[in-house]
A and B are shown apart, each in its own frame.
Chain A
Amino acid sequence: MAERLATLVGIYALLGLGYQIVFGQLRALNLAQGALFGVGAYATALTAPSLGPFALLVAPLAAAAVAALAAPPMLRLQSHYFALATLALASLINLVAVNAEDLTGGANGLVGFGMALPRGPTLTILVWLVLVATVAAYASIFKGETGEKARLLRDAPLVAASVGIDAALWRFTAFVIGGACAGLAGGFSAALTGVVSPEATGFSVMLLCLTAVVVGGARHPLGAVLGAAVAVLLPELFRGLQGSWLLAYAAATLAVVLWVPEGLAGLFTRRHALPIPLAVAPASGPRRLELDRVGKRFGGVEALRDVSFTVDRGEIVGLIGPNGSGKTTLLNTISGLESADSGTITLDRAHLEHLPAHAIARHGIGRTFQTPIEGETRGAGLARALATGAAFLLLDEPAAGMTDRERDLLAGQLRGLRRDRGIVLVDHDVELLTRVCDRLVCLDGGKVIASGSPAEVRADPKVRASFLGVPA
């Protein structure tokens, strides 16, 4: 009995660990994890008669294959749509399990394959060996830089793209590897029970997995193990309560969500602040960023119209213009968060206008955003952009909310950075821009209305009319 429970804890821990990669690390609400568990169970049950113990290896492969097939269209979906798509996938798998009677045995399920698979103590040891190895791998992978990248992806996806992290690739990998864990857990579960029925693909498995991970801790390496132990052992303890243990369990999950957001495992650890790398690699690479007649429309609104200018390394170009003139849209278009409708953006010879944001970041364009990530200090955005080793920096209102003294410091920093980088600077503080910029470009209504040295642009009558509020 104790051995069976130990095996069960191991199986659910493995299922939950796979789920932690997708849900915990990337905060993608995947509701197909339970169904992938079922896919693994069926795969093992179907192949056990011919493959023997090796049928257990088929389980993760089958689940990963289903996940990989289903993933591509789902990867670009946002949170709720992703949850719905995975829920639809899970419902489809469940329907197949119930209705494809020739393959799955329908509602009765499959039996009689168990003799070919490891059982008893062998199975328990096997499950726990795999689990320990997976926990160790998970812990080492998410301890350092990978963990920090995952955090950035979770908390600030746009910023993550701006430092070159490919969100779609991450999600795909997590979904497939997480699915493989679920499949293997399903295979083990088939070996343990000797029966596979449509219930293995049902929503109750998903619910158990989700609650176990939330209760245990969604990101901590031991979270899934703790959660699985609670989920398996609690009902044994509360056998007397009969059906109402599920009620108690659901209430406990709710309590954990409300009061212990990091899960039970979170109670045992403190967060360590990681040291910030101070040495910034000297920027090398491309020499010139060139925009040629760039245009961008949002519906009927022409946000950018024929915008052309160049920035060389060693130069700071200031971008001015009234609110809504297209400054941030222009930065978004250069960095690939919006795609240009017309015109070209080139870095030396390389065309950027159709590349995704993370690829542009890897070409050497770093940027900062107007609003910092919660809990970060003001300089963090600039530090992050520098840490990519970018040759060109796009800075969106870095001086917003700064005191005069801080502005002086910033101006000094920018002059220092200019030595081996090109900078595009957006700010409302024309005095600051005049001090640090080599040239100014003034936008109005999405068009360049003036460009040149700060003195020239400030003296331009069109600029005075539109931006400085002085009639021409």
Chain B
Amino acid sequence: MAYALVALGFVLALNASGAVNFAHGDLVVLGGAVAVLLASWLGLPGFLLMPLVALALAVAGVLAAHVAILPLARRPPEATFVATIALAAMIEQTLTVTMGASPRTTPPFLGSGAVTVGGVPIGLQPLAIVMVGAVLVAALWFLLERTQLGRRMRAVAADRHMARAVGIPVRRTVTLSLALSGALAGIAGFLLGHQFLVTPTQGAGHMLKAYIAVALGGWGSVPGALIGALAIGFFETFFSAEVGDAWASAALYIAVLLVLTLRPRGLFGEPIGQRA
């Protein structure tokens, strides 16, 4: 479910800018790091900390938009790709310099205990991840499908020239999408950081998973990204248990290559159509 949050933030940024935001994985790590920092300063419980982390990362998303995405809107998508790779390296290095390479852990959302449901113990944190994830996915769906703002965001994603022609403030909408994408990354980083710790070099891994989820689910499709992320989650859990981590990763990459070979536009096709 946390993969889903990473992938959803990624797909929002992707749709807004029309290009891959390679720094998204590092925004997730940054979210974890901010959570660690704020927790040690303020000592707030997790559920109060989360909005602050989201806000901080929304600001980071806006900065990313102004530094590496908006100035390159008229250039080929590869320019944005390279610029965000550089941005990713900057975030990673800043974190390495400031917090060191040793892993940290973020505070839990509710508590680190477990509740027993029908005789089966369920950890509070995994439960919290699933619940927060579900609420956010629902909220995002509502925003995109049922509000004027969401319609604008989808219009910009579909065709930015047309969107501008009908009077949508494109730059502002892109910035807003990136803020939202950053907030989602921050929350994902905060939630993941309790179980899987926070280290500066995790960014590329998060990024790769989100990339795979979005490519498999159909480029730019929000529900597709969700399904893709959940599929990766199940796939990994299943294969790691059966054959170990290394083979699970290998199987995932081979599966990606196979899917791309057989369905060059992802499992569910591409909603946007060909960008000739």
Is A89 within 8 A of B257, CB to CB?
A: yes
Judged by a CB distance under 8 angstroms, whether B34 is at the interface is no
Judge whether B250 and A253 touch: CB under 8 Å. no
Q: Is the CB of A81 within 8 A of B90?
A: no
**Is B82 a contact of A253 with CB atoms below 8 Å?**
yes
- When C-beta atoms are compared, the residue in chain A nearest to B265 turns out to be A81
B78 at the interface (CB under 8 A from A): yes
B174 CB to nearest A CB, Å: 16
**A257 partner residues in chain B, CB cutoff 8 A:** 72, 79, 82-83, 86
Interface of chain B residues 172 through 226 with chain A (CB within 8 A): 204, 208, 211-212, 215, 219
A310 close to B (CB within 8 Å) = no
Which of B37-45, B91-99, B114-122 lies on the face that meets chain A?
B91-99
Contact between B82 and A210 (Cβ–Cβ < 8 Å)?
A: yes
Residues of B contacting A203 with CB < 8 Å?
A: 204
Contact status B253-A91, CB under 8 Å: yes
Q: Which of A23, A91, A243 contacts B93 (CB 8 A)?
A: A243
The segment out of A69-77, A174-182, A220-228, A459-467 that lies at the interface is: A69-77
**Cα of A291 to Cα of B168 in the assembled complex, Å:** 45
Whether A73 lies near B90 (C-beta < 8 A) is no
Whether the pair A79, B78 counts as a contact (CB closer than 8 A) is: yes
> Does A243 contact B256, Cβ atoms closer than 8 Å?
no
Interface hub of B77, B93, B97 (most chain A Cβ within 10 A): B93
For the complex, is B102 an interface residue (Cβ under 8 Å from A)? no
Residues in A neighbouring B165, C-beta threshold 8 A? none
Q: A29-B78, A83-B81 are in contact. Are A251 and B257 (CB under 8 A)?
A: no
Complex contacts, A99 vs chain B, CB 8 Å? 246
Q: Is the CB of B77 within 8 A of A79?
A: yes
Check A85–B257 contact: CB distance below 8 A.
yes
Binding site for B on A (CB under 8 A): 23, 27, 29, 73-74, 76-81, 83-85, 87-89, 91-92, 95, 98-99, 157-158, 203, 207, 210-211, 214, 243-244, 246-247, 249-251, 253-254, 257-258, 261
Complex contact B208–A91 (CB within 8 A)? yes
Closest Cβ of chain B to A106, distance in Å, is 11
Q: Do the beta carbons of B260 and A254 come within 8 Å of each other?
A: no
21 A-B Cβ contacts within 8 A? A79-B78, A81-B215, A81-B264, A81-B266, A83-B81, A84-B212, A85-B257, A87-B211, A88-B212, A91-B208, A99-B246, A157-B276, A158-B276, A214-B82, A243-B96, A250-B87, A251-B86, A254-B68, A258-B71, A258-B83, A261-B75
Q: 19 more A-B contacts (CB under 8 A) besides A73-B261, A78-B265, A247-B89? A: A27-B76, A73-B257, A74-B260, A81-B219, A84-B212, A87-B211, A88-B254, A88-B260, A92-B253, A95-B249, A95-B250, A203-B204, A207-B85, A211-B85, A243-B96, A244-B97, A254-B83, A257-B83, A257-B86
Q: Which residues of A contact B276 (CB under 8 A)?
A: 157-158
Q: Does B20 contact A (CB under 8 A)?
A: yes
Does B67 make an interface contact (CB < 8 A)? yes
Contacts of A207 in B (CB 8 A): 85, 89
* A254 B250 Cβ-Cβ under 8 A: no
Nearest 5 pairs of A and B residues by beta carbon: A73-B261, A250-B89, A247-B93, A254-B86, A253-B86
Question: Complex formed: what's the CA distance from A29 to B84 in Å?
Answer: 14
Q: In the complex, what residue of chain B is closest to A245 when comparing beta carbons?
A: B93
A39 to B124, CA, bound (A): 45
B90 touches A250 (CB 8 A): yes
Q: Are A246 and B219 neighbours in the complex by a CB distance under 8 Å?
A: no
- Complex Cα spacing A432 to B93, Å: 64
Residue on A with the closest CB to B219?
A: A80
Given contacts A95-B246, A207-B89, A247-B94, contact A88 B79 (CB under 8 A): no
Inter-chain contact A84/B264, CB cutoff 8 Å: no
* Bound form: Cα–Cα A400–B94 in Å: 54
A263 to chain B minimum Cβ distance, whole angstroms, is 11
A246 to B94 alpha-carbon distance, docked (Å)? 9
**A73–B261 Cα gap in the complex (Å)?**
5
Do A258 and B72 touch across chains, with their CB atoms under 8 A apart? yes
Tell whether A76 pairs with B71 under 8 Å between CB atoms, given A27-B76, A95-B253, A210-B82: no
Docked complex: B47-105 residues within 8 A CB-CB of A: 67-68, 71-72, 75-79, 81-83, 85-87, 89-90, 93-94, 96-97
Alpha-carbon distance between A214 and B266 when the two chains are bound, in angstroms: 29
A-B contact count (CB 8 A): 112
In the bound assembly, the distance between CA atoms of A396 and B233 in angstroms comes to 49
Q: B99: shortest Cβ distance to chain A, in Å? A: 12
Chain A residues closer than 8 Å to B79, beta-carbon distance? 257, 261
Q: Is the CB of B249 within 8 A of A77?
A: no
Give complex CA distance A98, B247 in Å.
12
Render B15-39 as a binary contact track against A, CB cut-off 8 A, 1 for contact.
0000010000000000000000000
- Smallest Cβ-Cβ distance to B68: which chain A residue: A254
**Is A247 in contact with B97, judged by CB distance below 8 angstroms?**
yes
Residues of B within 8 A of A210 (CB): 82, 85
Flag if B86 contacts A250 (CB, 8 Å).
yes
Contact residues of B between 262 and 276, Cβ < 8 Å to A: 264-266, 274, 276
A77 to B76: give the CA distance in the assembly, Å. Answer: 17
Q: Please, how many angstroms separate the alpha-carbon atoms of A256 and B67 in the complex?
A: 12
**Given A88-B256, A210-B82, CB of A98 within 8 Å of CB of B219:** no
Measured in the bound complex, the distance between the Cα atoms of B85 and A396 in whole Å is 40
B90 neighbours in A (Cβ, 8 Å): 247, 250-251, 254
Bound CA–CA A243/B82 (angstroms): 21
A29, A78, A91 pick with most chain B CB within 10 angstroms: A91
Q: Which residue of B lies closest to A241 (CB)?
A: B97
Cα distance A415–B274 in the bound complex, in angstroms: 36
The answer to whether B86 and A88 have CB atoms under 8 Å apart is no
Best-surrounded residue of B82, B211, B246, B276 (most CB of chain A within 10 A): B82
Minimum CB–CB distance for B216 against chain A, Å: 9
Bound CA–CA A191/B212 (angstroms)? 36
| A74, B258: Cα distance in complex, Å | 10
Interchain CA distance A85-B211 in the complex, whole Å: 11
- Evaluate contact between B257 and A88: CB separation under 8 angstroms: yes
For the complex, give the distance between the alpha carbons of A73 and B258 in Å: 9
Q: Say yes or no: B89 contacts A85, CB within 8 Å.
A: no
- Assess whether B96 is in contact with A85, with CB atoms less than 8 Å apart: no
Tell me the minimal C-beta distance from A137 to chain B in angstroms.
Answer: 25
A76–B86 touching, CB < 8 Å: no
CB contacts (< 8 Å) of A91 on chain B: these are 208, 249, 253
Question: With A and B bound together, what is the CA distance between A251 and B91 in angstroms?
Answer: 10
Write the chain A residue with the least CB distance to B263.
Answer: A81
Q: How far is the CA of A207 from the CA of B84 in the complex (A)?
A: 12
